[in-house]
């Protein structure tokens, strides 16, 4: 068998097909070229129906010779391989524009600007200089990829393009960019964002409609320079967490992301009510790091960067509260009561917002192996009892050689001894002495009963006498429209106001009836479920039958699950409730029929094995 090397042209085609695999990669490539030609104003128009992109820039433009050189080289990155691209450009040296089509005709030809204006994407006047990029028939030679693109939710494509804009516009000033999306129903392009990238805060707000307050942070450590912004309030998504290293966006691993997010637990919470626990909240930050190191995943330099970030974020949380500052430049915050125990260095430092100096960072950053190795489990103490719960069984280790294990089937064979301290029930199950937490057990029973009732009766809901009107951003509007069918399945029905982006909610599940007057809370739980679907935490594709309630339960919106958990907890048997022998038997019988009997809705074990009573023969 003979192996031959592919032709260079074939290799290049494969390379370009791999790189240009989405609309955002095309937009990013063209924008980079615009800025390299000193553009200060750029208009982007995207037509997802015909799969085309139109970009007009006021850059210095190309002469006919430069256009021909561009069309005959690989300087444009091979866009002609995955699309039909036409470049129309005018430089100050010529009185009229010229055009060329890389991949088809390499000669620069005169272009009639009047004919150009008659096209449906309606470019603006070129003026003394500028360039127009017409990228059409994208992925036409790749029908599977084009089909995948057309099946991709609009909001996801738009968000990917916004991320490309963020990467290109980061730390660029005196530049204006607008993005328009084609509306096939109205046969026109509609602007969905515009920005002048005046600052990091302005850029984030313009791109993503993030209406929270940010505070600048700065730090230096050796050759590392860190500056950026952190939000005072948390939001429903963790996608707006950006770390640029030497002006290139760094992709955070799941572990690093979780580490940084855990620092902000409960930070910026303004809702004192228990319902705040029903909504996930995450910090928003945009951090820029410059250094003379090669920062790659897992490298020593990255460990230093990660440690500096953890120190800065920890300090930000410790001195910050979710109050609006009274002074833009300097504010000293006291630690919140929950975080009163802080190290002496933090407490004794006169902290100023906007700066963390080298002296404060020096000595705090360490990159020893012990700091970054995964947590190691301590060897088991054979003199102590450890406990492990999972869905189907409980294992209790008494010593190195002996285990107690039983599953939910064993709950059908039991003997109750007595109630202890009006909190626990002592009983024997399969020759094992165990203690049952009466509150956790009854909570588990009620959770499964309520969940089964909810799923079985879907989509039972109530029509509101007064519909809830919620103001949403353009990004949120696209997201909510994408998942409207899924919300309807759970009993939440809404539509958009034809005149603006207002969301009008007409029906909600019965569980929401006590919270239906709180528009802010309702919006938060809707947006959270959208992000859970977007990040595949929840699925909208499953067998939706009432007999399969346990499977469907895992895809119920988190807000509904939390409401059911809360209702079950409040109505369950409490510590201090005295139970008769009959009531204790009923409790164990019901628990034996549960699908997940060994822990409550909040993860607390319901049964703890104590000792194996089986005699060794």
Sign, Cα dihedral of 423, 427, 433, 434: negative
Q: How far is CA 128 from CA 65, 96, 119, 409, in A?
A: 18, 9, 21, 82
Q: Which residues of 529-541 are buried (b: 16+ CB within 10 A; e: fewer)?
A: bbbbbbeeebeee
Q: Which residue has the higher pLDDT, 209 or 323?
A: 209
User: For the segment 348-359, what is each residue's pLDDT rounded down to a tens digit?
Assistant: 333 344 444 444
| CATH 1.20.1600.10 corresponds to the domain 9-194 | no
What is the pLDDT averaged over residues 185-203? 91
Tell me the CATH number of domain 459-543, given options 3.30.1370.100, 3.10.180.10, 3.40.190.10, 3.90.1200.10: 3.30.1370.100
Q: Which is nearest to 160 in space by CA: 287, 274, 24?
A: 24
Per-residue HEC secondary structure of 278-338 comes to: HCCCECCEEEEEECCCCCCCCCHHHHHHHHHHHHHHHHHHHHCCCCCCCCCCCCCCCCCHH
Please report the beta strands in 320-422, taking only residues with DSSP state E, as ranges in sequence order: 386-389, 393-397, 403-407, 414-420
Domain edges within the chain:
9-194, 210-268+277-317, 459-543
Which pLDDT score, from 0 to 100, does residue 144 have?
85
**CB–CB of 362/220 below 8 Å?**
no
- The tens digit of pLDDT for each residue in 553-577 reads 888 888 888 888 888 988 999 999 9
- Rounding to the nearest 10 degrees, give the CA dihedral for residues 31, 32, 34, 37: 170
Instruction: Compute how many other C-beta atoms are within 10 angstroms of the C-beta atom of residue 23.
Output: 23
Residue 367 has pLDDT above 70, yes or no: no
Q: What is the pLDDT of residues 269-319, one digit of tens each?
A: 555 455 555 677 889 999 999 999 888 888 889 999 999 999 999 989 888
Q: Among candidates 471, 611, 37, 528, which has minimal Cα distance to 238?
A: 528
Q: How confident is the model at residue 599 (pLDDT cuts 50, 70, 90)?
A: confident
User: Whats the size of the chain, residue-wise?
Assistant: 617
Mean pLDDT (whole number) for 448-460: 85
Q: Is 50 exceeded by the pLDDT of residue 546?
A: no
Determine which helix (DSSP H) or strand (DSSP E) holds 6, and give its type and residue range.
none
Query: In the CATH hierarchy, which fold is given to the domain comprising 210-268+277-317?
Result: Ribosomal Protein S5; domain 2 (3.30.230)
Averaged pLDDT for residues 373-391: 36
- 519: pLDDT confidence band, cut at 50, 70 and 90? confident
Spatial distance between the Cα atoms of 30 and 77, rounded to a whole number of angstroms: 9
Terminal-residue alpha carbon distance, the chain:
68
pLDDT tens sequence across 222-270: 889 999 999 988 888 888 999 999 999 998 888 898 899 999 887 765 5
């Amino acid at each position: 068998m003979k192996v031959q090397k592919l032709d260079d042209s074939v290799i290049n085609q494969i390379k370009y097909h791999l790189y240009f695999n989405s609309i955002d990669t095309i937009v990013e490539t063209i924008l980079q070229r615009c800025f390299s030609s000193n553009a200060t104003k750029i208009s982007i128009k995207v037509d997802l129906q015909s799969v085309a992109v139109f970009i007009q820039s006021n850059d210095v433009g190309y002469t006919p010779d430069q256009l021909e050189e561009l069309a005959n080289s690989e300087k444009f990155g091979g866009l002609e391989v995955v699309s039909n691209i036409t470049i129309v450009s005018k430089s100050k040296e010529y009185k009229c524009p010229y055009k060329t089509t890389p991949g088809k005709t390499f000669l620069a030809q005169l272009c009639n600007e009047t004919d150009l204006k008659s096209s449906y994407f309606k470019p603006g006047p070129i003026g003394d200089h500028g360039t127009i990029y017409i990228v059409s028939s994208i992925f036409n030679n790749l029908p599977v990829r084009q089909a995948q693109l057309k099946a991709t939710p609009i909001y996801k494509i738009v968000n990917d393009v916004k991320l490309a804009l963020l990467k290109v516009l980061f730390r660029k000033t005196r530049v204006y960019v607008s993005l328009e999306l084609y509306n096939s129903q109205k046969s026109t392009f509609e602007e969905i964002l515009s920005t002048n990238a005046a600052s990091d805060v302005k850029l984030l707000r313009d791109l993503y409609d993030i209406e929270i307050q940010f505070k600048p942070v700065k730090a230096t450590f050796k050759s590392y320079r860190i500056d950026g912004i952190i939000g005072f309030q948390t939001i429903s998504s963790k996608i707006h967490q950006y770390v640029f290293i030497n002006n290139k966006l760094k992709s955070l691993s799941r572990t690093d992301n979780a580490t940084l997010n855990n620092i902000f637990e409960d930070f910026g919470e303004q809702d004192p009510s228990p319902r705040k626990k029903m909504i996930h909240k995450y910090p928003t930050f945009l951090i820029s790091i410059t250094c003379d190191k090669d920062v790659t995943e897992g490298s020593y330099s990255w460990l230093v960067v990660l440690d500096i970030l953890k120190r800065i974020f920890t300090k930000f949380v410790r001195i910050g509260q979710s109050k609006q500052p009274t002074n833009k430049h300097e504010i000293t915050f006291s630690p919140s009561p929950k975080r009163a125990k802080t190290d002496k260095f933090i407490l004794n430092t006169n902290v100023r917002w906007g700066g963390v100096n080298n002296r404060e960072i020096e000595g705090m950053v360490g990159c020893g192996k012990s700091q970054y190795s995964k947590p190691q489990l301590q060897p088991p103490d054979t003199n102590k009892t450890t406990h492990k719960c999972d869905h189907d069984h409980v294992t209790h280790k008494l010593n190195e050689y002996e285990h107690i294990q039983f599953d939910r089937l064993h709950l059908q064979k039991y003997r109750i001894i007595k109630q202890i301290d009006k909190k626990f029930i002592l009983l024997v199950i399969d020759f094992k002495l165990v203690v049952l937490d009466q509150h956790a057990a009854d909570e588990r029973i009620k959770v499964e009963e309520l969940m089964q009732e909810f799923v079985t009766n879907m989509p039972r809901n109530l029509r509101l006498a007064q519909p809830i009107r919620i103001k949403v951003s353009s990004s949120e509007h696209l997201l909510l429209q994408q998942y409207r069918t899924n919300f309807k399945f759970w009993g939440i029905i809404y539509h958009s106001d034809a005149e603006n982006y207002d969301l009008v909610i007409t029906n909600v599940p019965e569980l929401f009836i006590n919270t239906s007057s709180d528009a802010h809370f309702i919006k938060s739980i809707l947006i959270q479920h959208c992000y859970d679907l977007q990040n595949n935490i929840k699925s909208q594709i499953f067998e939706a039958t009432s007999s399969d309630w346990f499977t469907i339960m895992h895809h119920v919106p988190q807000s509904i699950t939390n409401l059911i958990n809360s209702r079950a907890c409040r109505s369950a048997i409490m510590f201090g409730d005295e139970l008769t022998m009959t009531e204790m038997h009923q409790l164990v019988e019901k628990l034996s029929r549960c699908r997940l009997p060994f822990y409550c809705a909040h993860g607390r074990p319901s049964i703890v094995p104590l000792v194996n009573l089986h005699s060794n023969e």
